[in-house]
Structure 1
Amino acid sequence: MSRVRAITRAALTQRGVIRHGAAPEAPANGAHVRRLHGSRSALAARILSVEELFSRSSLQGHLRRMEAEYERSLQRVGSAQPEGEDLRSARARLSALTPLVLRARELRVKLKESEETEALLQDGDPDMRDLAEMERDACQGRIQDLKRAILSLLIPAEESDMSDLVLEVTAGVGGQEAMLFTAEVFDMYQNFATFQGWGFDVLEYMPSEIGGLRHASASICGPLSFKKMKFEAGVHRVQRVPKTEKQGRMHTSTMTVAVLPQPTEISFTINPRDLRIETKRASGAGGQHVNTTDSAVRIVHLPTGVVSECQQERSQLKNKETAMKVLRARLYSMRLEEETSKRYQTRKLQIGTKGRSEKIRTYNFSQDRVTDHRIGKTLHNVHGFLLGEELLEEMSVSLLEFSEQETILDIIEDGASDVK
């Protein structure tokens, strides 16, 4: 796509683009991946309204192209050609396009009905005008429902959105202050999981000497957990006067967050012959079993070199199960990223993985603000944000809505470019 869209500030009050959490009935286009574009300007990002999206000629043109493709697929299915790959492909495409096309056609009918109702509002009979107003309101409500449904159907379903996840946090630049902030962020996500009604099981926890956190991971399970959490991946920056600072100077520290979809046994399998499993004695704080039994487990995936370790439990068997869960999540995330890279080259499923240096979010305590640099959204009350409840939920909704909007704009504008 040749044109880079201007981005203005995200506003949660313009939330009408997509109903949060609404899943499409069927993918209406190719296998596009929902994403945010880190390469675009983050000075401001505005979530467009439903009407603004439907006023774009590129959207109207895309719907016409989808309807034309629907008609072609319908003709192929209805022809007398023998069963074959082409016929199966036409049936699959017809099934995918049907929900979108039916709603687009109903929308045209309702728009026409709305125009006819407007004419009745000029009637001299008061009773007729009242009936026309009621009919107009009902018609407008249905039009808005249809437009939202169409936008939702334009967003392809992602298998990983329905996954549980493994969350990893790691202290970055800033020494002990970075570790203290990492502990606060990890607690924030644990509170967010509780707020959402998700399960939160700690897999690894490596504390620092003064109560901070060097590295930790957790398994989070619950409806739409990965979908809501995936945009948390990246570098988080904190600006504040640390507890360890004696002269009152402001410090800047960082930590990284990784969000890995947790696959099921059915969707992803690992050959046991590809694993090297090692046991060793646990180290660090932990009670009598530390340095006395070979309970710690280290698993190496030989083809990729990916390593997973666990020493949280006293039982070697439990540590092995936990290490395998983390290993599976890391390998699955690698596979998803490889598939995404093949289709979109530099575009990634997640933003700000461990290897990237861009700060996705800043927590500034002196200004009492939290700013997400990808969409330019700022919320005040940094302590309230770190509670991991309403304010984090508000940011999560904004990121998801802006990502869905960007996906829609990419699909319709890429389609328009192909036609040209």
Structure 2
Amino acid sequence: MLFTSEIFDMYQQYAAFKRWHFETLEYFPSEIGGLRHASASIGGSEAYKHMKFEGGVHRVQRVPKTEKQGRIHTSTMTVAILPQPSEINLVINPKDLRIDTKRASGAGGQHVNTTDSVVRVVHLPTGIVSECQQERSQLKNKEMAMKKLRAKLYSLQLEEETSKRYNARKIQIGTKGRSEKIRTYNFPQDRVTDHRINKSLHDLETFMQGEYLLDELVQSLKDYANYESLVEIISKKV
């Protein structure tokens, strides 16, 4: 959960570095200062084209502060990147929705109060559920829940279309390739390695600041994905 908090902060700093808009939709901290789960909306020039490479399992290897024997512990966290559709790309029939409201409860909510501020939206045809209790305003929570629902539905639609075109050797970026780790953050060796392109960068502290080193790695992933696409097009013509 501590690593999850650091990764979330890294993406927030990366958004600032790229001059994108970053809005926290959900944030559920743990009791020890880490992060259980969070979601954010990121918008800006080619934001999805960059961020889609971050989807997958991220692994951290380091000696925790609570470890007295100096042993290295390994933990993982998962990042999911969903493209945000426009009104033109996706139309949702209001008849297909069930919207419920309830009172916020538990220690996870940032603004827990006694009003019916939690909004839960269910898309009946697919069974996809989206919930938000981040804000005090029920209207604002409904707006955010709908935003998340649209992203989930669009991602499902996109996945169905792209799965027909992706073959086994295609780099698993922004698809279902979240079962295996995509990147390792090794603190004792001051190294971050992206396993999809077998590239390592050093100076992990600078990398976690979410600026030029992260941008360099993302650019390498973009270049490799473009190369894979080109090879696929050529092989089909041949």
> For residue 272 of structure 1, what is the aligned residue in structure 2?
94
In 1, the alpha carbon distance for the partners of 2:207 and 2:38 equals 20
> For residue 325 of structure 1, what is the aligned residue in structure 2?
147
Candidates 252, 271, 283, aligned match of 2:74: 252
Q: What is the correspondence of 1:10-409 to structure 2 with a 5 Å cutoff? A: 179-283=1-105, 284=107, 290-344=112-166, 351=173, 356-409=178-231
In 2, the alpha carbon distance for the partners of 1:348 and 1:209 equals 41
**Change in 2 beyond 3 A, CA 1:411/1:390:** same
**Change in 2 beyond 3 A, CA 1:394/1:242:** same
CA contact (8 A) 1:341 1:347 kept: no
TM-score of the pair, normalised by structure 1: 0.54
**Change in 2 beyond 3 A, CA 1:363/1:200:** same
CA contact (8 A) 1:274 1:302 kept: yes
In 1, the alpha carbon distance for the partners of 2:223 and 2:123 equals 37
1:354, CA displacement in angstroms?
A: 7.0
In 1, the alpha carbon distance for the partners of 2:159 and 2:175 equals 11
CA contact (8 A) 2:52 2:174 kept: no
CA contact (8 A) 1:337 1:348 kept: no
Candidates 218, 234, 237, aligned match of 1:412: 234
1:247, CA displacement in angstroms?
A: 2.6
Which string of whole-angstrom CA distances, capped at 9 and with x for unpartnered residues, describes residues 127-168 of structure 1?
xxxxxxxxxxxxxxxxxxxxxxxxxxxxxxxxxxxxxxxxxx
| Greater C-alpha Rg | 1
* Partner amino acid, structure 1, of 2:152: R
Which string of whole-angstrom CA distances, capped at 9 and with x for unpartnered residues, describes residues 84-111 of structure 1?
xxxxxxxxxxxxxxxxxxxxxxxxxxxx
Which string of whole-angstrom CA distances, capped at 9 and with x for unpartnered residues, describes residues 315-373 of structure 1?
00000000100010011000000111234466889537677321100000000000000
In 2, the alpha carbon distance for the partners of 1:347 and 1:205 equals 36
**Change in 2 beyond 3 A, CA 1:184/1:262:** same
1:186, CA displacement in angstroms?
A: 0.4
1:413, CA displacement in angstroms?
A: 1.8
CA contact (8 A) 1:371 1:377 kept: yes
Aligned length: 237
**Change in 2 beyond 3 A, CA 1:348/1:296:** farther
**Change in 2 beyond 3 A, CA 1:394/1:343:** closer
In 2, the alpha carbon distance for the partners of 1:396 and 1:211 equals 29
**Change in 2 beyond 3 A, CA 1:400/1:256:** same
Deviates more, 1:218-227 or 1:237-246: 237-246
> For residue 12 of structure 1, what is the aligned residue in structure 2?
none
Q: Share of identical aligned residues, percent?
A: 71
Structure 1 gaps, min length 5: 1-178
Helix, strand or coil at the partner of 1:261:
coil
Which of the two has greater helix per residue? 1
In 1, the alpha carbon distance for the partners of 2:35 and 2:170 equals 28
Runs of 4+ displaced beyond 4 Å: 345-350, 352-355
Deviates more, 1:211-220 or 1:339-348: 339-348
- Tell me how large the CA RMSD over aligned residues is: 1.9
CA contact (8 A) 1:235 1:354 kept: no
In 2, the alpha carbon distance for the partners of 1:309 and 1:351 equals 26
1:267, CA displacement in angstroms?
A: 1.0
Helix, strand or coil at the partner of 1:236:
strand
Helix, strand or coil at the partner of 1:211:
coil
